[in-house]
Each structure stands twice: as C-alpha cells, then as structure tokens.
Structure 1
Amino acid sequence: MEGLQYMAKKVIVITGPTGVGKTTVAKYLEQQWHMARVITHTTRTPRAHETDGRDYYFETSTSFNRNHYLESVVYAGAQYGSSLEGLDCAWQKSEVVTIVLDTAGAITYAQELADKVIILYISVSDSNVLRQRLAKRGDHPEQQQHRLQSAEYLRDLALPPELVGRATLINNDNWHTTKKILQEFLILCGIMDLN
C-alpha cells in the first residue's frame, strides 16, 4: 500500500449509467491501490463470469430481505442493495474503500455518510458505446433492451442535481486516460501522494 496515506474511513462511491465502466474503475482501484470493494447484494442471476461473494452476494428475494441496508433499489426488475455489514467488512480491510452504486444509491450515501463519501460520476461521450459494452459483457439481448429502456438507466445518464458540486466527473472514453485521471484524483483528494 506504498504511496497511500489513509485518512479517517472513506468510501469512494462510483456511479453513472450501466455499461460505463464503474466496475472496471472499482477493480482498478482495488488492484492498483489496494482499496477494498464493498460487496453489494442482488437478486439478479449471475453472469457466466461472476462469482458469489466476489462480484456480488447473489440472493433470493427471501435472503435479500434478511440484510441491513444503507440503501437498496429495484433496477431492471432485480433488487440491489449495500448492507451496513458489507461496508464494515470492507473498512476492516482498508480505510478507503470503493462501492459501485446507481445515482440514487450515491445520493443516499452522500446524505447518510456525509464527509466519509467521495463520489465519482463516470460517463462516456457517446451513449451508443454503452449499448456496445452491454452486448460485450454477455447480457441476454432481452435483458439489454429492458435495461436500456428502464427509468433507472435513463435517470443515470445524467448527473443528478443532488450530486452537482459534490461529484467528480470522469469521462471513460479511453481507459489509459481514465487511469491517469484517477491517479490525479487520488492525489488531489489526499488519498495518495507521490512519495
């Protein structure tokens, strides 16, 4: 964890529309800067490459309701939520952790955890890129279409007014450039230094 100077517990909330690269950003911060990811819960079916307890806690509707959530939403017909226990578990691994949330979840985190929250809003210049990325990650065509027509997807295409002035905007058109911007962001926030 050389190069990181941790402050009091923080959570970097990564938000934006589906397919924009939020999970890629979270995995990069985990691998490159050893930030634990808060594992969230969902009732959706796992994709072929996903593992329970690593990508999500895959739940039934019954088991989903047994957890204690800071926030939860229904997105494209499936329940999603982040539990207080999951957040505490991540903070036991590192004092700066990441979580991927939709914009409604990001607003809740900002309201509930105040100065413990740093928000990144990830976007791309062309929304057609999002359709292409969804197709590449293996979602069934009907699921893709349902997701792209959902109110949640349309909501997440723009930074909500509640996060204006609070979120740092990062365009993820080019991954190489995004990594440089993330490093500058971490330095600016005082999470890492160049020493």
Structure 2
Amino acid sequence: MDKKIIVITGASGTGKTTISKYLQDTYHIPSVITHTTRLPRAGEKSGIDYYFETKESFAKNHYLEKVEYSGNWYGSSEESLNKTWEKYDAASIVVDTKGAISYKEKYGKDAVVIFLEVDLETVTKRLESRGDEKHRLKARINSDEFQRDLQIPSELSGKCYKIINKNIEKTKENVNKILKIEKIG
C-alpha cells in the first residue's frame, strides 16, 4: 500500500487546523510535526507540538516548504514526514498553497490535496472571533499571501479537492467522501 500525505490548504480562517484535528480524532491520521526556530511557549513540547530547532539544526533538514515569520523559521521536512510514515500509512499537514504545490510536485498521487474555501465575510468573522486585533486582521486580509491562498493556484487546478467550508458537518462529510475515493482510513 502506498503511503499518503493529506495536504490541507487554503487561506487563514478556512478551517485547516479543524480538519487536521478531525482526521486525527476520527481516523487516527496524525499530523506531521513541523519545525520551528522559535522558543517553545508554556506547555509546548519538542516532538509533540513542533521540533524546536536552533538556526543551525533547522538548516540541516530537507524542507518541502519553509517560511520566515517574525524572525523565526517554520517548515515541514521530508525527515518528519518519513518518520510519521514509519508508523502510519497516512498523515496530514496544514500548509499554505505554495507548500501544497511543493507536496504535490514531490509526492504526486500520494499527496491528496484538500483546498478549503470560505467567503471573505465568514473568514473575517472567524479571525475576529479568534481574537485577532482589528489592525492586524486588516493587514492579514490585505496581504499578498492571504489573497493568494483564497483561490486554487493554477499548479493545483484539477489536481486537488475543493471544499467550501460554510458548515463544519457538511465539510466533514466531504472529507469522509475524499478518504473513501482515495482509499484512506
């Protein structure tokens, strides 16, 4: 059996983490642990929440995607995915659309890309309810990355599943259908 990576992508506030957690809770599909050079927050543990790295150790991995944010690096590595695949036949990862393209290019049919979409009004409400400050929220929504992640990039056109996440129960049903089609779980 082929190992699968379920790549969950879309703009901020579309429900990517919720779907990743659903896959974990319902199908026991773990999410790939990503790497960061930021310091652990209270209660976070290395190897569970992230692999906490120094700039030097971070540089030694092979990343499918990485990003620098507020002076810290974040990334998902082939090493971490392979470690997950040693124990499980499927794993999930939450990435932006640029990251999703990298996974699809590297893993082809073994990368099952789910693009979550929500209208701007709903996303704005969700981000507000998370407690994002108004000026930060506005900056985020107007950022190039956020705008880019609102639609399926041409590189993934016809190569991914699109779910409009207006209703979480309906979204979960759609995820279940995708797993059936892909013979996962």
| Superposition TM-score, scaled by structure 2 size | 0.86
Secondary structure of the residue aligned to 2:14 is coil
Tell me whether 1:155 sits opposite 2:148 in the alignment: yes
Aligned equivalent of 1:167, options 152, 160, 171: 160
Secondary structure of the residue aligned to 1:12 is strand
Partners of 2:56 and 2:136 in 1: CA distance: 23
1:36–1:93 Cα contact (<8 Å) kept: no
Tell me whether 1:189 sits opposite 2:178 in the alignment: no
Please identify, of 33-42 and 70-79, the stretch whose mean Cα deviation from structure 2 is larger.
70-79
- Per-residue CA deviations over 1:155-177 (Å, capped at 9, x if unaligned) read 00110000011000011110111
Q: Which amino acid aligns with 2:23?
A: L
Aligned to 2:24: 30
Tell me whether 1:40 sits opposite 2:43 in the alignment: no
Quote the offset at 1:150 in angstroms.
Answer: 1.8
Q: Provide the aligned C-alpha RMSD in A.
A: 2.6
Quote the offset at 1:112 in angstroms.
Answer: 1.2
Q: Which amino acid aligns with 1:189?
A: E
Tell me whether 1:136 sits opposite 2:136 in the alignment: no
1:76–1:150 Cα contact (<8 Å) kept: no
Please identify, of 154-163 and 87-96, the stretch whose mean Cα deviation from structure 2 is larger.
87-96
Partners of 1:117 and 1:184 in 2: CA distance: 16
Q: Which amino acid aligns with 1:146?
A: A
Please identify, of 109-118 and 140-149, the stretch whose mean Cα deviation from structure 2 is larger.
140-149
Secondary structure of the residue aligned to 1:23 is helix
* Identity score, percent: 46
Tell me whether 1:115 sits opposite 2:117 in the alignment: no
Q: Which amino acid aligns with 1:147?
A: R
Q: Which amino acid aligns with 2:152?
A: L
Quote the offset at 1:153 in angstroms.
Answer: 0.9
1:123–1:170 Cα contact (<8 Å) kept: yes
Partners of 2:31 and 2:42 in 1: CA distance: 21
| CA 1:65–1:169: 2 relative to 1, 3 Å | same
Tell me whether 1:145 sits opposite 2:165 in the alignment: no
Q: How does 1:65-144 map to 2 (within 5 A)?
A: 65-74=59-68, 79-124=73-118, 126-144=119-137
| CA 1:42–1:148: 2 relative to 1, 3 Å | farther
Q: Which consecutive residues of structure 1, in runs of 5 or more, have no partner in the other structure?
A: 1-6
Partners of 1:50 and 1:148 in 2: CA distance: 28
1:47–1:139 Cα contact (<8 Å) kept: no
Quote the offset at 1:11 in angstroms.
Answer: 0.4
